[in-house]
């Protein structure tokens, strides 16, 4: 069974840093791209960042670019999100998710979607 367990959240002041972790089990972690998605209280989902299986390609939402860094440890089966210079608007529940690929033999297209999600970890940025 695929399991993703986030940790590392908490209450911090604006400008401070926090490092989130996501422990993966039940699948071959090193074979999958991984993603962080966040959800502000009472709001919708927002994609934050994704990293490929080999940690060689990383993408970020404009709202966090330059402040957040995604990384992974394929030996420890863990995904990380280093969050620096945190702002009030970063307050959210942060989910880690697995990127699952699907190859359509009829069209030749390979697509991705987020097929497994953790339970989320709350990050609160407030003075």
Partner 1 sequence: QSALAQPASVSGSPGQSITISCAGTSTDVGAYADVSWYQQYPGKAPKVIIYAVTKRPSGISNRFSGSKSGTTASLTISGLQAEDEADYYCSSYTSSSTWVFGGGTKLTVL
Exactly one of 34, 118, 121, 125 binds partner 1 (CB under 8 A); which one? 118
Nearest distance, CB of residue 84 and partner 1, angstroms: 20
Exactly one of 10, 26, 87, 102 binds partner 1 (CB under 8 A); which one? 102
**115: Cβ contacts below 8 Å, ≥ 6 apart:** 97, 98, 99, 100
Contacts to partner 1 from residues 34-73, by CB under 8 A: 35, 37, 44-47, 50, 59-63
| Residue 114 makes contact with partner 1 by CB under 8 A | yes
| Residue 112 makes contact with partner 1 by CB under 8 A | yes
CB 19 within 8 A of CB 8: yes
| Residue 27 makes contact with partner 1 by CB under 8 A | no
Task: Give the integer Cα–Cα distance in Å for 64 and 81.
Answer: 11
Task: Give the integer Cα–Cα distance in Å for 33 and 10.
Answer: 26
| Residue 1 makes contact with partner 1 by CB under 8 A | no
E strand spans, 16-89: 18-25, 34-39, 45-51, 58-60, 68-73, 78-83
Binding site residues, partner 1, CB under 8 A: 35, 37, 44-47, 50, 59-63, 95, 100, 102, 104, 107, 109, 111-115, 117-120
């Amino acid at each position: 069974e695929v399991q993703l367990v986030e940790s590392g959240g908490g209450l911090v002041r604006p400008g401070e840093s926090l490092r989130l972790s996501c422990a993966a089990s039940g699948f071959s972690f090193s074979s999958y791209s991984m993603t962080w998605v966040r959800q502000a209280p009472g709001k919708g989902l927002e994609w934050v960042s994704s990293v490929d299986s080999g940690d060689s390609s990383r993408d970020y939402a404009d709202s966090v670019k330059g402040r957040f860094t995604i990384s992974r440890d394929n030996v420890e089966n863990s995904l990380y999100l280093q969050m620096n210079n945190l702002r009030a608007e970063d307050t959210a529940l942060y989910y880690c998710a697995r990127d699952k690929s699907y190859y359509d033999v009829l069209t030749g297209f390979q697509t991705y979607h987020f097929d497994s999600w953790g339970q989320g970890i709350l990050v609160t940025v407030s003075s």
